[in-house]
C-alpha cells in the first residue's frame, strides 16, 4: 500500500463495522437566534413560501404581535446573520414580514389562540412597544390587562420618535388597535406616579413598568441665545403634534445616532434649506445605521464628522475640529470653525424617567437611572416587573417587544405560582455546515422607494412593500438552515434504501438494519439536518 485510508472525513464505517450512524436533527437557524423578539423566522417563512400566508402570519404572531410595524422599523439583525449572504445576498426577511402584516390588515385576519382559564389582573405602565407586547402576550395567556399611558397616543417612541416616512401612522394604529380588540384596555393621558397605590386601588395582581426613553440628555454648551435650541425628542414630538416650529433656513443637529438623522431629515421636510449634522467622531464610529446616514445624505443633509460644538452666539456657532488618536478616540485640536445657524437640535441620547419608582421599596437602580431586574424581569419589589428602555440593554423597538413577551411569560408563571423555564436552544447552524449542492443563485428583490426629490415634499413612506409575487419569491430564497425541508436528497442518495419517507410534512426515518453508515445522506444534506453520531447513541433522537 502506498497510503492510508482516511475515514475521518465522513465519520463513518461500513456494514457490520459501522461506528457512526446518521440521525435527523433540528438545529437553530442563525436568523432565529439573532431575533430580539424571539420569532421562529424559519417556520413562518416556510409557510409563506408555500403560499400559506395566513398560517405564516399566525405563526409569526406567536412571538411578535406587530409584523407590519417591525417589517418597517426593525433593523433586522436576523438578516445580518443570514447564511444566504455567503451565497449571494441575505433573505429580505423584514420585507416578507411587512407583506404578511399588511396583508393581514387588508384581509381582516384575527389572532387565533386559546387563552387558559384562571387569569389575573395586570397593570402595565407605558403604551410603547414593550408595554403593548406584554399586554398582547398576557391576554393570550389568559389575563386581564389595563395599560396606562401618560401621553395622548399609544405607541410610545414608535409614534413620537420615528417619523411617518419610516412608520406611517395608519399601519401603526391598526396594529395597536388589534391589541385593544383582543381585550386590552388603554387609558391615555394617565400618568402613574405611585405604583403601589395604583396597584392597590385597581385590584391588580402584578405590574409591568415599561416607560420609554423620552427624556433627552443634556450637555453644557455656552450659549448667549438659547431661544432656538431644541432637544430632538421634543422636536419630533412637536412635529407629530402639528406645531409650527419656525426653524429658519439653517438648522444644525448635534449627535450621530438614528434620532439625529431623523431630526435632520425632518427639518429638511419642514423647509430648512440647510440641515447640518455635527458629530464628534468619524462615520465608522457613529451609532446611526449606515442606511440612515445614506438616506439623509441623499436628501441633502450635510454631515460634519469630527466636530464638536464649543459655543453658540445668536446665529453663529463655534465648532472645534477633532482628530482621532492611535486608539481611534477623538481628541481636540484647538482649531475652530464658525457655522451660521438659525436653530440647534440636540440629539445626544435619551434617558428614561424612573424617578417615580424610587419610592417603591426593593427597587434598585443603576448609575444611569435604569432599573435593575432579575432574569425573570422582576424588580426587587415582589410582583413589579420592568422592561424596555428602562432596563439595561440596547434600545430598539424589537428589543423592547421581546422584553414584553419575556416579561409576560414570567408574569404568567408568577401569577399562577409556577416556574417558567425557556426551552433549551439547539446548536446554531453556521454557513460552513451547509452542503449546497444545488444551484442557489437568486439575488434578493430590492424594495421600491421614493426618489430623494419626491421625499422632501412631505412625510410619505419611503420604502414600498412587496407584491405577492415578490414576497413569495423572497420567502423561497430561505435555505432552511439546520432543519429538514424534505428535498428528498437523503432519500435519493442512500445506496442501501435505508431511508423511509413518512409522507409530506412528516420527514423521514432511518432503517438502521440496512444503514451502513456510509454518510452519503449526511454529505448531501443541503441544510445540515442530518448529523453523524456515535453508534451507541439512542436512535430516538430522530425527528
Could you tell me the CATH number of the domain that includes residue 221?
A: 3.50.50.60
pLDDT tier, 11 (very low <50, low <70, confident <90, very high otherwise): very low
pLDDT of residue 9: 41
* 290 & 332 share domain: yes
Q: Of 415, 430, 448, which marks where a domain is finished?
A: 415
Q: Is the pLDDT of residue 15 over 60?
A: no
pLDDT of residue 505: 87
Residue 2 included in any domain: no
Q: Is the pLDDT of residue 165 over 80?
A: yes
Q: Give me the CATH number covering residue 20.
A: 3.30.70.20
Q: Is the pLDDT of residue 7 over 90?
A: no
Q: How far is CA 365 from CA 373, 376, 403, in A?
A: 9, 17, 18
Residue 282: is it exposed, middle or buried by C-beta count within 10 angstroms (0-12/13-18/19+)?
A: middle
Q: What is the spatial distance between Cα 207 and Cα 184, in angstroms, rounded to a whole number?
A: 14
Q: Give me the CATH number covering residue 98.
A: 1.10.1060.10
pLDDT of residue 537: 66
pLDDT of residue 14: 47
pLDDT of residue 83: 95
- Of 68 and 218, more confident: 68
pLDDT of residue 148: 97
Residue 106 included in any domain: yes
| DSSP string across 230-241 | EEHHHHHHHHHT
* 463 & 488 share domain: no
Q: What is the spatial distance between Cα 48 and Cα 498, in angstroms, rounded to a whole number?
A: 32
Q: What is the spatial distance between Cα 276 and Cα 268, in angstroms, rounded to a whole number?
A: 10
pLDDT of residue 227: 55
The DSSP bridge partners found for residue 252 are 276, 344
Q: Of the ranges 115-119, 349-353, 358-362, 420-424, which one carries the lowest mean pLDDT score?
A: 349-353
Q: What are phi and psi of 183, to 5 degrees?
A: 130, -5
Domain count for the chain: 4
- Collapsing DSSP states into helix, strand and coil, what is residue 264? helix
* 67 & 103 share domain: yes
Q: Of 349, 383, 403, which marks where a domain is finished?
A: 349
Residue 427 included in any domain: no
* 210 & 98 share domain: no
- pLDDT (tens digit, 9 = 90+) per residue, 461-516? 999 999 999 999 999 999 999 999 999 999 999 999 999 999 988 999 999 999 99
pLDDT tier, 333 (very low <50, low <70, confident <90, very high otherwise): very high
Residue 174 included in any domain: yes
Among residues 330, 344, 335, 318, the alpha carbon closest in space to that of 280 is found at 330
Q: What is the spatial distance between Cα 16 and Cα 10, in angstroms, rounded to a whole number?
A: 17
Domain hosting 297: range is 216-349
* 228 & 207 share domain: no
* 187 & 85 share domain: no
* 22 & 35 share domain: no
Average pLDDT over residues 315-340: 91
Q: What angle do CA 342, 302, 169 make, to 5 degrees?
A: 80
pLDDT tier, 3 (very low <50, low <70, confident <90, very high otherwise): very low
Q: What is the spatial distance between Cα 453 and Cα 455, in angstroms, rounded to a whole number?
A: 6
For residues 279 and 255, the answer to whether their CB atoms sit within 8 Å is: yes
Q: Map grid coordinates 456494514 to a residue.
A: 15
Average pLDDT over residues 195-224: 86
Contacts of 430 (CB under 8 A, 6+ apart): 30, 83
Average pLDDT over residues 66-80: 96
pLDDT tier, 8 (very low <50, low <70, confident <90, very high otherwise): very low
- Of 447 and 315, more confident: 447
Q: What is the mean pLDDT of the chain?
A: 90
Residue 9 included in any domain: no
For residues 250 and 365, the answer to whether their CB atoms sit within 8 Å is: no
Q: Is the pLDDT of residue 520 over 70?
A: yes
Among residues 240, 91, 100, the alpha carbon closest in space to that of 167 is found at 240
Average pLDDT over residues 336-350: 90
Residue 504 included in any domain: yes
Task: Print burial letters for 359-384: b (CB count within 10 Å at least 16), e (below 16).
Answer: ebeebebeeebbbebeeebbbebebb
* 222 & 167 share domain: no
* 467 & 524 share domain: no
Q: What is the spatial distance between Cα 386 and Cα 125, in angstroms, rounded to a whole number?
A: 9
Helix axes 41-49, 53-61, angle to 10 degrees: 170
- Of 413 and 10, more confident: 413
pLDDT of residue 299: 95
pLDDT of residue 393: 85
pLDDT of residue 450: 93
Residue 146 included in any domain: yes
pLDDT of residue 540: 46
* 513 & 409 share domain: no
Could you give the percent of the chain with pLDDT greater than 90?
Answer: 76
Residue 320 included in any domain: yes
- Of 448 and 394, more confident: 448
pLDDT tier, 354 (very low <50, low <70, confident <90, very high otherwise): confident
Among residues 91, 80, 90, the alpha carbon closest in space to that of 33 is found at 80
- Of 177 and 311, more confident: 177
Contacts of 528 (CB under 8 A, 6+ apart): 27, 429, 433, 434, 435, 481, 482
Q: Is the pLDDT of residue 153 over 80?
A: yes
Q: How far is CA 29 from CA 47, 185, 449, in A?
A: 16, 37, 30
pLDDT of residue 17: 66
Q: Of the ranges 60-64, 196-200, 249-253, 315-319, which one carries the lowest mean pLDDT score?
A: 315-319
Q: How far is CA 214 from CA 128, 217, 278, 399, 441, in A?
A: 11, 10, 22, 17, 45
Q: Of the ranges 160-164, 290-294, 437-441, 448-452, which one carries the lowest mean pLDDT score?
A: 437-441
* 490 & 526 share domain: yes
* 126 & 155 share domain: yes
pLDDT of residue 337: 93
Average pLDDT over residues 311-315: 82
Q: What is the spatial distance between Cα 513 and Cα 496, in angstroms, rounded to a whole number?
A: 10
pLDDT of residue 351: 78
- Of 150 and 439, more confident: 150
pLDDT of residue 542: 53
Amino acid at each position: 500500500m502506498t497510503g492510508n485510508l482516511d475515514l475521518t472525513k465522513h465519520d463513518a464505517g461500513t456494514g457490520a463495522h459501522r461506528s457512526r450512524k446518521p440521525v435527523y436533527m433540528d438545529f437553530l437557524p442563525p436568523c432565529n437566534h439573532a431575533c430580539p423578539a424571539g420569532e421562529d423566522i424559519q417556520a413562518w417563512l416556510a409557510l409563506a413560501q408555500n403560499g400559506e400566508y395566513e398560517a405564516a402570519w399566525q405563526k409569526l404572531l406567536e412571538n411578535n404581535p406587530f409584523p407590519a410595524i417591525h417589517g418597517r422599523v426593525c433593523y433586522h439583525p436576523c438578516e445580518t446573520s443570514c447564511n444566504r449572504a455567503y451565497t449571494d445576498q441575505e433573505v429580505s426577511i423584514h420585507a416578507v414580514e411587512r407583506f404578511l402584516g399588511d396583508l393581514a390588515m387588508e384581509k381582516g385576519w384575527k389572532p387565533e389562540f386559546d387563552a387558559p382559564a384562571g387569569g389575573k389582573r395586570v397593570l402595565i405602565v407605558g403604551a410603547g412597544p414593550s408595554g403593548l407586547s406584554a399586554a398582547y402576550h398576557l391576554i393570550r395567556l389568559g389575563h386581564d390587562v389595563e395599560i396606562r399611558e401618560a401621553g395622548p397616543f399609544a405607541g410610545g417612541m414608535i409614534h413620537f420618535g420615528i417619523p411617518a416616512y419610516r412608520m406611517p401612522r395608519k399601519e401603526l394604529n391598526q396594529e395597536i388597535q388589534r391589541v385593544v380588540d383582543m381585550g386590552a384596555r388603554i387609558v391615555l393621558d394617565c400618568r402613574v406616579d405611585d405604583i403601589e397605590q395604583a396597584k392597590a386601588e385597581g385590584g391588580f395582581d402584578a405590574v409591568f413598568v415599561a416607560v420609554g426613553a423620552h427624556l433627552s440628555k443634556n450637555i453644557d454648551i455656552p450659549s448667549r441665545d438659547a431661544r432656538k435650541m431644541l432637544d430632538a425628542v421634543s422636536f419630533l414630538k412637536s412635529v407629530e403634534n402639528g406645531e409650527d416650529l419656525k426653524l429658519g433656513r439653517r438648522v444644525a443637529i448635534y449627535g450621530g445616532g438614528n434620532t439625529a438623522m431623523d431630526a435632520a431629515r425632518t427639518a429638511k421636510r419642514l423647509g430648512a434649506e440647510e440641515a447640518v449634522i455635527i458629530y464628534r467622531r468619524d462615520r465608522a464610529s457613529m451609532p446611526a445605521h449606515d442606511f440612515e446616514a445614506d438616506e439623509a445624505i441623499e436628501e441633502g443633509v450635510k454631515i460634519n464628522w469630527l466636530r464638536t460644538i464649543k459655543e453658540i452666539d445668536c446665529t453663529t456657532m463655534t465648532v472645534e475640529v477633532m482628530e482621532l488618536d492611535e486608539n481611534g478616540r477623538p481628541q481636540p485640536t484647538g482649531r475652530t470653525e464658525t457655522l451660521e445657524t438659525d436653530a440647534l437640535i440636540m440629539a445626544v441620547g435619551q434617558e428614561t424617567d424612573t424617578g417615580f419608582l424610587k419610592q417603591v421599596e426593593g427597587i434598585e437602580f443603576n448609575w444611569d437611572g435604569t432599573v435593575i431586574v432579575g432574569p425573570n424581569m422582576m424588580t426587587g419589589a415582589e410582583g413589579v416587573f420592568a422592561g424596555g428602555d428602562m432596563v439595561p440593554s440596547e434600545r430598539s423597538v424589537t428589543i423592547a417587544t421581546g422584553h414584553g413577551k419575556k416579561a409576560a411569560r414570567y408574569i404568567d408563571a408568577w401569577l399562577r405560582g409556577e416556574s417558567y423555564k425557556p426551552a433549551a436552544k439547539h446548536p446554531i447552524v453556521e454557513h460552513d455546515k451547509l452542503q449546497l449542492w444545488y444551484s442557489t443563485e437568486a439575488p434578493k428583490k430590492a424594495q421600491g422607494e421614493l426618489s430623494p426629490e419626491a421625499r422632501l415634499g412631505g412625510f410619505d413612506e419611503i420604502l414600498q412593500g412587496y407584491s405577492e409575487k415578490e414576497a413569495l419569491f423572497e420567502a423561497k430564497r430561505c435555505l432552511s438552515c439546520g432543519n429538514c425541508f424534505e428535498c428528498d436528497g437523503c432519500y435519493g442518495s442512500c445506496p442501501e434504501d435505508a431511508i423511509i419517507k413518512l409522507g409530506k410534512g412528516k420527514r423521514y426515518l432511518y432503517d438502521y438494519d440496512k444503514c451502513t453508515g456510509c454518510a452519503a445522506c449526511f454529505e448531501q444534506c443541503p441544510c445540515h439536518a442530518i448529523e453523524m453520531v456515535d453508534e451507541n447513541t439512542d436512535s430516538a433522537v430522530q425527528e
